[in-house]
Amino acid sequence: MQLQDSVVFVTGGASGLGEAVVRHAIVGGAKGVTIVDLSEDKANALAAELGDRVLVVKTDISNEGEVAAAVAATVAKFGRLDVTVSCAGIAIAERTLDREGQPASLPNYAKVIGVNLIGTFDVVRQSAAAMSKNEPNDEGERGVVIMTASVAAFDGQVGQAAYSASKGGLVGMTLPLSRDLAPAGIRVMTIAPGLLDTPIYEFAPPEMKEQLSKTPVFPKRLGRPDEFAKLVAAIIDNAYLNGEVIRLDAAVRLPPK
């Protein structure tokens, strides 16, 4: 499938990795891009900069009706939906037992699973339903879904039980989703980023960012959001990539802390 002339649905598209995907898609000649994000202000500012091929639909991906409305608005404006890139995600760091021996909050655990895993599954299933109505291309493809996990799916750190479980769930469902959606001609891939320089590190003091930059094996720096967007474009382009997880991490393996 080609990025050029495709209609791309990007959750978390207002910031960080999702924003890079939105920009790359517009430069790459996408017919239309929908920014599906909770943050309406940032999404609107990006749309104002990029022009009328960008649609903003304020959406909480953990709300089934809002996801349905975002898919419907995309099809109404651009005529179809070809590619879904699911970047929306949250992290709540919390040790399973705190220093006083108190157990972690169950609502916090459920919230992370609700957004990162259940919300992403809802985005996949509802956008796949729209893709299944497309005319297939010469390869029989009707669509491509790309989910964003994390290296924390494999080497989760202290305090990341919920986040790692949610991202591990995305890794685990990549193959069965690709098997489920194969009859519709829809491929499913997952990217597991390492340490990429996005607003999630804005809170961090400069020395922490400096320290994190030394963690990857090579190159010794944080990854750039456009390196994520380039991998997304390569996955869209390459019809033989399906049912697999790709680490984008400069060989980093996260230590316990």
Ligand X SMILES: NC(=O)c1ccc[n+]([C@@H]2O[C@H](COP(=O)([O-])OP(=O)(O)OC[C@H]3O[C@@H](n4cnc5c(N)ncnc54)[C@H](O)[C@@H]3O)[C@@H](O)[C@H]2O)c1
**Which residues bind to ligand X, rule: CB under 6 A?**
11-12, 14-18, 37-39, 59-62, 87-90, 115, 119, 148, 150, 193, 195-196, 198-200
Angle formed by the axes of helices 120-131 and 64-78, to 10°? 30
Q: Min. distance of Cβ 64 from ligand X in angstroms?
A: 12
Structure-block tokens of residue 166: 């949610």
Q: Min. distance of Cβ 160 from ligand X in angstroms?
A: 11
- Torsion angles phi and psi, residue 241, rounded to 5: -90, 115
List residues with catalytic annotation: 163
96-126 burial, b for 16+ CB within 10 Å, e for fewer?
A: eeeeeeeebeeeebebbbbbbbbbbbbbbeb
Q: Min. distance of Cβ 200 from ligand X in angstroms?
A: 4
Q: Tell me the C-alpha distance between 47 and 165, whole Å.
A: 33
Cβ-contact 131, 143 below 8 angstroms: yes
Structure-block tokens of residue 139: 């390869």
Q: Min. distance of Cβ 137 from ligand X in angstroms?
A: 28
Query: Of 173 and 196, which CB lies nearer to ligand X in the complex structure?
Result: 196
Query: Of 39 and 132, which CB lies nearer to ligand X in the complex structure?
Result: 39
Q: Min. distance of Cβ 139 from ligand X in angstroms?
A: 28
Q: What amino acid occupies position 176?
A: P
Query: Of 45 and 234, which CB lies nearer to ligand X in the complex structure?
Result: 45
Query: Of 15 and 134, which CB lies nearer to ligand X in the complex structure?
Result: 15
Cβ-contact 6, 236 below 8 angstroms: yes
Query: Of 16 and 169, which CB lies nearer to ligand X in the complex structure?
Result: 16
Whether cis (ω within 30° of 0) applies to the bond prior to 219 is: yes
Locate all alpha helices (DSSP H) within the chain, ordered by sequence. 16-27, 40-50, 64-78, 106-112, 120-131, 161-181, 206-213, 225-237
Q: Min. distance of Cβ 133 from ligand X in angstroms?
A: 24
Structure-block tokens of residue 160: 């990341």
Cβ-contact 236, 83 below 8 angstroms: yes
Query: Of 28 and 225, which CB lies nearer to ligand X in the complex structure?
Result: 225
